[in-house]
């Protein structure tokens, strides 16, 4: 049994901004026996629920496009009433739009590359910046948002993806370099190359520390809510975003992993499914696989997605999550 899930988005979809579209999404999920849905809660440098002031230490604004009553509350309530697991998706994690107003004058919170630049291009064109997980202000601010969400909203889980990390070419800001140079390895190599193994492992440790902090805060504040991560396969995730999720599993810091394997070649999909880190994780906790149903400008043939689903179903894992709602709809018969 596949136990299908689905990511809802704020991009290329009106589902979070139109009550009728939200209702149609719930109907779609129910009609086609989807068991869970990931609802965006933190994306585009904004939040999608009314965070209490004391927990919004980073000052992220509420998405002004949300209708009243808030579609997030209405949608999550409808999902719960229909028995659909609801995952609160912190899509941006430590990433933010470069022009986010709440970051104006707060460049000290940002990571930098070797050229001293804070801007990172997502997909080669979208200007982003990354918050520094070595700073208590950042760690505590993100943790407070998570606590507010899991206390305020009836969620099954909180989910992060590779944006709970940072680009491997970053970490050359004064704060991070000062901390690094206070270590034995940093004294020997004050300005390491981005691919230096010790430098990678040390920076990765800050992400692991943040995951542990979030985990501890959730255990105190909302012990019934699971912590989910949806990274890329381990090698890519670690070498590009410094996210060592295999280690998080071994340390018991997360409750489930949704490995995003977006491949067009069935052989490549099978190879990723055989990855030792993935197989080892599956012996300790539920492992789901994220498959790409298509993008607005890159639709996927129904036969292709069906084959991918069959390949994953053969593995006996916990389930399959499709990205994303709008591109998944054509792969299923219209609601009756």
Distance between CA atoms of residues 258 and 35, nearest Å: 14
The pLDDT value recorded for residue 335 is 46
The confidence band for 17, taking pLDDT boundaries of 50, 70 and 90, is: very high
Q: How much is the pLDDT for 336?
A: 45
pTM: 0.97
The class that CATH gives domain 4-293+304-331 is alpha beta
**Span 161-189, pLDDT tens digits:** 999 999 999 999 999 999 999 999 999 99
Overall average pLDDT of the 254-266 stretch = 97
Query: Using one digit for the tens of pLDDT, what is the confidence trace for 66-118?
Result: 998 887 999 999 999 999 999 999 999 999 999 999 999 999 999 999 999 99
Q: Which of 243, 250, 47 is nearest to 158 (CA)?
A: 47
The residue ranges of every structural domain in the chain are: 4-293+304-331
**Spatial distance between the Cα atoms of 245 and 277, rounded to a whole number of angstroms:** 9
Q: 205-247, pLDDT tens digit by residue?
A: 999 999 999 999 999 999 999 999 999 999 999 999 999 999 9
- Has residue 282 got a pLDDT over 50? yes
pLDDT at 320 over 90: yes
The answer to whether 138 touches 103, Cβ cutoff 8 Å, is no
Q: Nearest Cα to 331, choosing from 3, 1, 4? A: 4
Taking CA atoms, 209 is separated from 12, 67, 109, 197, 244, in Å, by 34, 37, 17, 18, 11
Strand ranges in the chain using DSSP code E only, listed in sequence order: 4-7, 36-40, 42-43, 46-47, 85-90, 95-97, 120-122, 126-130, 157-161, 226-230, 256-260, 287-292, 294-295, 298-299, 319-323
309, 2 Cβ separation under 8 angstroms? yes
């Amino acid at each position: 049994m596949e136990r299908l899930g689905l990511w809802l988005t704020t991009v290329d979809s009106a589902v979070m901004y139109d009550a009728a579209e939200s209702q149609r999404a719930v109907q779609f999920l129910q009609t086609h026996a989807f068991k869970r849905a990931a609802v965006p809660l933190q994306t585009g440098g904004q939040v999608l629920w009314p965070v209490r002031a004391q927990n919004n230490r980073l000052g992220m604004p509420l998405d002004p496009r949300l209708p009243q009553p808030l579609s997030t509350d209405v949608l999550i309530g409808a999902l719960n009433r229909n028995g659909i697991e609801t995952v609160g998706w912190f899509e941006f994690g430590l990433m933010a739009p470069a022009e986010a107003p709440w970051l104006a004058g707060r460049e000290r919170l940002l990571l930098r590359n070797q050229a001293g630049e804070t801007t990172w291009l997502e997909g080669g064109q979208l200007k982003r910046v990354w918050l520094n997980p070595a700073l208590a202000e950042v760690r505590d601010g993100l943790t407070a948002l998570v606590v507010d969400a899991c206390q305020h909203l009836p969620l099954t889980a909180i989910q992060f993806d590779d944006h709970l990390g940072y680009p491997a070419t970053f970490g050359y800001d004064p704060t991070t370099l000062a901390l690094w140079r206070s270590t034995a390895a940093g004294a020997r190599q004050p300005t390491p190359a981005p691919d230096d193994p010790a430098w990678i492992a040390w920076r990765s440790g800050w992400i692991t520390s943040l995951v542990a902090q979030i985990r501890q805060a959730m255990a105190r504040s909302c012990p019934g809510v699971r912590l989910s991560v949806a990274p890329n396969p381990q090698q890519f995730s670690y070498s590009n975003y410094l996210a060592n999720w295999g280690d998080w599993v071994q340390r018991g810091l997360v409750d489930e992993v949704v490995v995003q394997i977006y491949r067009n070649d069935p052989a490549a999909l099978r190879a990723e499914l055989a990855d030792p880190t993935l197989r080892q994780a599956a012996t300790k906790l539920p492992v789901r696989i994220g498959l790409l149903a298509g993008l607005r400008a890159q639709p996927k043939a129904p036969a292709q997605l069906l084959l991918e689903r069959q390949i994953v179903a053969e593995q006996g894992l916990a389930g399959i999550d499709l990205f994303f709602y709008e591109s998944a709809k054509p792969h299923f018969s219209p609601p009756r």
